[in-house]
Chains A and B, each alone.
Chain A
Amino acid sequence: MNCIPEEIAMLYVESELAAEEIQTVEAHPAECSACTELVGTLRAENVVLTSALRESVPNRRLRTLAHLAGSIAASATIAVPAQWAASMIQEAGMWANHVASMPFELAFRAARAIAPLALLLVVTQMTALAMTRRSNQQALVIGREEVIQDSVFATGETVLVEGKIEGTLFMFGRSLEIRGEVDGDEFAGGQEIRITGKVNGNIIGGAETITVRGLVTGGVYAAGRNVHVDSGGQVQREVISGSQTVTVDGKIGRGLTSGASTAMIGGTIERGISFSGKRFSSGLLGESTEASARRSGQERLPDGPGRGAVRQAGHQDPRTSAGKRLGGDHPLGGRGPGRGILRRMVTARGVSRILWRRGAVRT
């Protein structure tokens, strides 16, 4: 019996042969060493090809570690001065009251004398942050029944807060999630941060992905690859994000300021959007409103019964005209024609900037 042609062997190895052809191949004598080795070789080649293509994409683990290190550094950079500044403001206020009540000369001497003490205070405030420390190399869980009446410094591979923290929360690790409640600000650094519970304060974080699916009564100040306010998520104040992608399918009570590569808005932003990046997509203003300027110069801003107005400036290749009406009953400035403004500019470098201001009218 003739040996199996290489092309047939390849299809056999890849499970792409028809049933009758498979029978023909398998009817070939199993003791034919040439064909057996050919099939083995082709299988080995497939393994090499798959691994070569997969590995050529930047190594996920290395990237993750780099992100983690960067996130922790960024968060620490924010958290430590913030804590220091908060304490100093209180201290400074107290001392200012005292100093203001003294004659100038006396105040000057007092200030000079106080300076070393103030410096000492700063150092001690920075190094001796009094708070509850919780750590676990694997998974750290603050249970559902637990209430911690203190600020918490939590670290672990995974940190899950199901209970209540009545103070500021500092959390660092790979995967961080708040399912419970935090009565204070949250400073976080990790690969992934999820808020599915409630944070009665601000979130200041650096992570590969930050996802808000719960309630944040303050603002979100985030640096990372992805920032998502998912459906059901609510940030009552502003979101300021420096990230590759920001998506908003939930609600932001104030404005969104984003220096992202891509912004996709499917939810509600009560006030303004300030976006600088490559690509912007929004369902806010109609069923499908997209501004995709870079290279393609394409955008789709559908006509419809909307009540807002669009003004554009500096557009290189406009597909929409200034003042074009947008479809949908959009939540931004939709009180009547001309009450809202979406201004879009495309610079010579192809960077689009989109500004939306409620109630402002520009022509």
Chain B
Amino acid sequence: MILTFPGQLDLATDDRLGFGEVYRLYFGRVTGLCRHLLRDRAIAEDAASEAFLRIRDGLARYDASVPMERWVLRIAANHCIDLLRRRRLEQRWFVEEPGVEPASATATPLTLVLLKEQRELVERSLAKLDEAYRVPMVLRYYAELSYDEIAAELDLEKTQVAGRIFRAKQMLRLALKETL
């Protein structure tokens, strides 16, 4: 069986699928996640390599009931969060309440973003957010983890995750409103 779609990965039934295949399929996604979380290309590449070491070690224990991509990204996210903590950035989880920009019933600065350059602006604005807000946003909108999974990764309550994502969006709207 030739596997071309990540969701179809089934290590239990395809003995041809080796670590090389997993690496090839998910290298981009894992590196992207590390870059968004760590904000440093070199550190992110290191982190991605480390994450793949963990992935390789864990392949034998992979539970095929979980989508492979989600499993891989959770391992990578977990490693990046460990790094952030190690760098003592976790102290910055507790930050001052930011200014807010509520979503209006019509267009918001975020929904007005249409052009590629503007989307890059969103990414840059997101990168400027404090870790406390940026990390849940990346885990949600890049890694597509659920609130429960994010809460587990960050040792938070689900309500705290929701609160941070909510406030992060408000901060983004504010930042974009000033820029666009």
Contacts and interface: CB of A to CB of B under 8 A. Distances in A.
A141 to B, nearest CB: 13
A228 B20 contact: yes
B45 to A, nearest CB: 7
B118 to A, nearest CB: 8
Interface string A38-59: 1001101110111111111100
B151 to A, nearest CB: 11
Contacts of B158: 16
A146 to B, nearest CB: 20
A245 B105 CA distance: 49
B165 interface: yes
Contacts of A247: 19-20, 23, 56
B104 interface: yes
B110 A245 contact: no
Nearest to A37: B105
B113 interface: yes
A45 B105 contact: no
A10 B173 CA distance: 14
A50 B141 contact: yes
B162 A48 contact: no
Interface in A6-30: 6-7, 9-11, 14, 16
A279 B56 CA distance: 14
Given A37-B106, A48-B119, A249-B18, A281 B53 contact: yes
Contacts of B28: 57, 60
Interface string B100-136: 0011111110110100100110110010000000000
A264 interface: yes
B49 to A, nearest CB: 5
A290 interface: yes
Interface string B132-165: 0000011011101011000000000010001101
A41 B162 contact: no
A228 B24 CA distance: 10
Contacts of B104: 38, 41
A226 B27 contact: yes
A116 B78 CA distance: 67
Contact of B49 (A7, A56, A60, A262): A262
Contacts of B27: 225-226
A261 B53 contact: no
A213 B24 CA distance: 14
A262 B46 CA distance: 9
Interface in A169-196: 192, 196
A290 B52 CA distance: 13
A168 interface: no
Contact of A211 (B20, B113, B162): B20
B50 interface: yes
Given A16-B146, A226-B23, A228-B24, 18 more contacts: A7-B166, A10-B165, A37-B105, A38-B104, A41-B103, A41-B108, A49-B137, A50-B142, A53-B126, A55-B116, A57-B35, A211-B21, A245-B23, A247-B56, A249-B20, A264-B19, A266-B19, A292-B50
Interface of B: 16, 18-21, 23-24, 27-28, 31-32, 35-36, 43, 45-46, 49-50, 52-53, 56-57, 102-108, 110-111, 113, 116, 119-120, 122-123, 126, 137-138, 140-142, 144, 146-147, 158, 162-163, 165-166, 169
Interface of A: 6-7, 9-11, 14, 16, 33-35, 37-38, 41-42, 44-46, 48-57, 60, 192, 196, 209, 211, 213, 225-226, 228, 230-232, 245, 247, 249, 261-262, 264, 266, 278-279, 281, 288, 290, 292, 294-295
30 contacts: A6-B103, A7-B166, A10-B169, A14-B140, A14-B147, A16-B158, A16-B162, A38-B103, A44-B111, A45-B103, A45-B110, A45-B169, A49-B126, A52-B123, A52-B126, A54-B142, A56-B32, A196-B16, A225-B27, A228-B24, A230-B18, A230-B19, A245-B49, A247-B20, A247-B23, A247-B56, A264-B19, A279-B49, A281-B53, A292-B50
